[in-house]
Amino acid sequence: MTTETDTTETGTTETGAGTRVPDAVAGRRPLRAGPVSAVWRPRGAAVVLVGAAVLVLVGAVSIGRGDYPIAVGDVLRVLFGGGSRSETFVVTELRLPRVLTGALVGAALGIAGAITQGVARNPLTSPDVLGVTDGAGVAALLVLVLAGTGGSAVGLLAALGLPLAALVGGLLAAALVVVLAYRQGLDAFRFILVGLGISVALVSVTSWLLVIANVQQAGLALVWLRGSLNARGWEHVLPVAVVLVLVVPVTIALTFRLDALDLGDDTARGLGVRVDRTRISLLGLAVVLAASATAAAGPIRFVALVVPQVSLRLAGGSRPPLIASAIAGAVLVVAGDLLARTVLGGEVPVGVVTVVLGAPYLLFLLVRRTRKDSA
């Protein structure tokens, strides 16, 4: 029977059996709940709280914009149970679902990007470049273009409906990447290369489907492929919310193993982590999040790539933080949709704004990484 004794200055506790177990991180306040422990990071908590406040403010501004303008204060009063009957109808039935869909989609993409970049230990990795988004796009186009004429497989996709078809397409594309990349283990570099190859092939399929589509089908497909929050209702909010509620707790539990992967595969195995199983599990959760987001609003690109790195620089740490990435992703999508509707005019897809903002940041990451490798 072992008994705990004194805590040493280095933050470890010596047991009666002579072993030493971690007790605290120097300079950090530990948080414990039964067998689970974490480190209190004030900077990360501040980023989350400020980001949440910004999200509420941007969401209220977005809800108030439209043919029937509503002041931000009135929007907040309606959300807390006040306001007139007409304001309540406009806010809760017409505009709130759109903002909530954007926030949930951005949160899902932010977490998915944080997971993939943490697993691959590469800031240039995201579901956008691993075939998930393009697989969802191909499945959606099959429904839009070939429904009724594409055989039993396409007919089955059409029976599922556009959102579920996109979800299935993203999952199948990710499964294909894992199968082709797995060679006595899941190497991160090989996984990225295979994902890029599958993504390019799926882009070619997308182009072919647009060529054979008629004008009306091509128009609908192009709007969907750019990622749009137009005409989103509560039926789009619920599926993404359910996925987040189910997946995020599991993801947070598994990310404790992700910290061990940051030390290298050999060290992680020495700590008792099943490296390949952990990688595949985390990537599977990221795929579900990214595919569900794409199914709800179409492919909104660069959010999963940019947001984790911005959150990492704001919150600090060794890898992109999950909660901060979720908040930042929600802010980016909601703010991008507001910018598209007010500055650009009309119903410009929010994906256009995220591409305009994300492409220069991708170039910055490429240049920065090239200089780092050559130094």
- R_g over Cα of the chain: 23
Question: pLDDT value at position 104?
Answer: 96
Question: Distance between CA atoms of 230 and 349, rounded to whole angstroms?
Answer: 8
Phi then psi for 82, rounded to 5 degrees? Answer: -105, -155
Q: Is residue 7 part of a domain?
A: no
Q: What is the largest CA-CA distance in the chain?
A: 77
- Strands in the chain per DSSP E: 4-7, 12-15, 20-22, 29-33, 36-40
**Residue type for position 260:** A
Q: What CATH number corresponds to the domain at position 89?
A: 1.10.3470.10
pLDDT per residue rounded down to tens, the chain (375 residues): 333 333 334 344 444 444 444 445 555 666 666 555 667 778 888 999 999 999 999 999 999 998 888 999 999 999 888 878 888 999 998 899 999 999 999 999 999 999 998 888 888 788 887 888 888 888 888 887 776 555 555 556 556 677 778 888 888 898 898 888 888 777 777 888 888 899 999 999 988 888 888 888 788 788 788 888 988 889 889 989 999 999 999 998 887 777 777 777 677 777 777 777 888 888 889 988 998 898 888 889 889 999 999 999 888 877 889 999 999 999 999 999 999 888 877 678 898 889 888 878 777 777 776 676 666
DSSP bridge pairs for 21: 13
**How many domains is the chain built from?**
1
Q: Is residue 26 part of a domain?
A: no
Neighbours of 169 (CB within 10 A): 28
Q: Is residue 14 part of a domain?
A: no
Question: pLDDT value at position 140?
Answer: 81
Question: pLDDT value at position 243?
Answer: 92
Q: Is residue 16 part of a domain?
A: no
8 Å CB contact between 282 and 252:
no
Give the CA dihedral 345, 350, 351, 357, nearest 10 degrees. 80
Question: Distance between CA atoms of 369 and 375, rounded to whole angstroms?
Answer: 10
Q: Is residue 115 part of a domain?
A: yes
8 Å CB contact between 58 and 65:
no
Q: Is residue 3 part of a domain?
A: no
Q: Is 349 exposed, middle or buried (0-12, 13-18, 19+ CB in 10 A)?
A: buried
Q: Is residue 11 part of a domain?
A: no
Q: Is residue 339 part of a domain?
A: yes
Residue 50 CB contacts under 8 Å (≥ 6 apart), including other chains: none
8 Å CB contact between 286 and 320:
no
Question: Distance between CA atoms of 3 and 65, rounded to whole angstroms?
Answer: 63
**Which residue range(s) make up the domain with 103?**
42-369
